[in-house]
Structure 1
């Protein structure tokens, strides 16, 4: 962050900018020179498995809710269970996170 144009930067601001630029350049150099990591690490595989299980569970709960509503038409308990399954499926459905305001163009 550059100091304001209408005033002279204080000693602290100059020092802060100098250290920030140095750290930024060092980080950029480290990121640019290290080899690309493979996204198939064990942690990434487990993350995809857990995410897949969550999405599959949501679809299974939806299917159970639809099946309960069709199979138990007229039975209060079946309809209540179907409604509960459909509500749980709606709440746990996959949602896309909104973009941050500075990227929403």
Structure 2
């Protein structure tokens, strides 16, 4: 065995501190290393997919909140109008339109 300091390659994989010298052992180590690299890449890709799904979910929740706010303001505008409070109805309708524009 040749002793080397452990190093991290460009892909962030830490190499062992001892490098074997026999051809068979080198081949085995390379195969094991390649499997680890593939496994870590697959885990990284899975983590990216989870992150993307999480971001989509957060965006959907944000849209849901905006839609709820739109409905709430539209309801307030209707109730204010039916009670005769035209100014509040106009203000609530303007807010409802603002929220609706953000949803679309």
Q: TM-score if structure 1 supplies the norm length?
A: 0.44
TM-score, scaled relative to structure 2: 0.44
Which structure has the larger Rg over C-alpha atoms?
2
